[in-house]
Amino acid sequence: MTIAETSRDEVIERARRYVTGGEFAAELAPRVAIPSESPREDSGPDQLRYLDALRPGLEAMGFSVRVLDNPVLPRLPALFAARIEDEALPTVLTYGHGDVLWGMGGDWRDGRDPWVLDDTGERLYGRGTVDNKGQHTINLAALRCVLEARGRLGFNIKLLIEMGEESGSPGLDEMAQANRDLLAADVLIASDGPRTATHTPTVFLGARGGMGFHLVADEREGAYHSGNWGGLLVNPGIRLAHALATITDAKGRLAIREWTPGAIPANVRAALADIVLEKDASDPAIDPEWGEPGLSGPEQVFGWCNFEVLAYTCGRPEAPVNAVPGSARATCQLRYVVGVDRERILPALREHLDAHGFRDIRIEPMKRGFFKATRTDPDNDWVRLVVGSIEQTTAKAPALLPNLGGSLPNEVFAETLGMPTVWVPHSHRACGQHAPDEHMLLSIAEEAAAMMAGIFYDIGTR
């Protein structure tokens, strides 16, 4: 065994001990204790408190640290840190978010407090343990393990921690545009989201986009007695239901072909061929006939687009009366992949509805912004490096997803900052993120720390 191989093994073992020896839980507990709920309008002090808590550890690692003001929503700032060893070396940007969704105190099993880390020996419970405090805590610890073992990284590292991801990352793109030189890097390597299966290391290269909107059938003011007016007045609930029925067929296949990529690229299809979606005992049964015909489950979720009706209201559902209502409203969403023109999503819908005789159905875009679809080429050299490093560390071939099924602010890095993006998630599909009982599996945390230490070690020796 060569000296370099021995050194790599030592770094990876050091990273494993960080988790198995309890240091990870000890470091994560005070971070979970900060109730950094970004949707809460008075959360500004907690957001700053979280960023301040990161500063000492980063400065001890040789990072220069500063807080970036958010020009869109000032209570949700971001932290930027950099350790520049040599301007001639490659520069890696890593990212995380310290904000969380609602704690949902009182809804957790066994009386758990969402702001108190509960270590069962197999799981770490608490809000943010996987989304995303635990994930970026692991990555920062992996960097520290390399530094402690070698005294240097062998590359430059920049860090961006935002505090608004759970609220749609308001202001993140504006911060990136205003700080392009500050954030410039050769690649983004970060962690968020779940693996495809608990024991399968996973790499994904972007995210599906999301476009939300309302469809409204607004026929008249007020409601009219159905005994006197039924059969004479257009029922907006029926009208809207028929409009919705033109968007997909009865099995969910999209009828607006501009809402699809047309075909899944060959290298994307190849990357998805070996993906297996892990099913938890509590997961619903999958309908194999739903969606685009001829696509596998992974192709449906990661390679194609889907339309969802998220809510539908007509009249007063909480207190129905015998009257023809005046209006009906559906809240809708399109999840889409690279290959769909975002700017054509709503115009194509307008044209489709008009062509089917529904000029009266109004389209209202959602006020909240949604993320764009992005995807790094699976054949990118950085992708190959990360995948190869994970395989060397774990002796497992990682699942390579062209993009996550959900959404992330990846367009900030892929488009605004113009760099390839490689994500290595450290959670699992049944982790409870955004719900009571959110938890990190210690087995995943140990493997994740080893993988990230291996990746950072390998970047420094490439």
Model-level pTM? Answer: 0.89
Q: How many CB atoms lie within 10 A of CB 227?
A: 10
Cα–Cα distance for residue pair 158/185, rounded to 1 Å: 8
Mean pLDDT by runs of 10 across the 462 residues of the chain is: 66 98 98 98 98 98 98 98 98 98 97 98 97 98 96 97 95 97 98 94 95 96 95 97 98 97 94 84 85 95 96 94 96 96 97 98 85 92 98 96 89 97 96 96 98 98 87
Instruction: With CA atoms as reference, report the closest residue to 325 among 333, 334, 316.
Output: 316
pLDDT at position 6, please? 56
Residue 286 CA, chain-centre distance (Å), reads 22
Residues with Cβ < 8 Å from 290, sequence gap 6 or more?
251, 252
Which residue bears the tokens 């028929």? 242
pLDDT at position 364, please? 97
**142 in Cβ contact with 159 (< 8 Å):** no
Cα–Cα distance for residue pair 165/78, rounded to 1 Å: 11
- Edge-to-edge strand order for the sheet containing 327-336? 306-314, 327-336, 209-218, 361-365
pLDDT at position 447, please? 98
pLDDT at position 1, please? 39
| Token pair belonging to 255 | 């009828």
Category of 315 on φ-ψ map: left (φ > 0), alpha (ψ -120 to 50) or beta: left
Instruction: With CA atoms as reference, report the closest residue to 283 among 400, 402, 431, 425.
Output: 431
Query: Three-state SS across the chain?
Result: CCHHHHHHHHHHHHHHHHHHCCHHHHHHHHHHCCCCECCCCCCHHHHHHHHHHHHHHHHHCCCEEEEECCCCCCCCCEEEEEECCCCCCCEEEEEEECCECCCCCCCCHHHCCCCCCEECCCEEECCCCCCCHHHHHHHHHHHHHHHHHHCCCCCEEEEEEECCHHHCCCCHHHHHHHCHHHHCCCEEEECCCECCECCECEEECEECEEEEEEEEEECCCCCEEHHHHCCCCCCHHHHHHHHHHCCECCCCCECCHHHCCCCCCHHHHHHHCCCCCCCCCCCCCCCCCCCCCCCCHHHHHHHCCEEEEEEEEECCCCCCCCEECCEEEEEEEEEECCCCCHHHHHHHHHHHHHHCCCCCEEEEECCCCCCCCEECCCCCHHHHHHHHHHHHHHCCCCEEECCECCCCCHHHHHHHCCCCEEECCCECCCCCCCCCCCEEEHHHHHHHHHHHHHHHHHHCCC
Instruction: With CA atoms as reference, report the closest residue to 131 among 338, 348, 431, 395.
Output: 431
pLDDT at position 3, please? 44
Residues pairing with 332 in the sheet: 213, 309
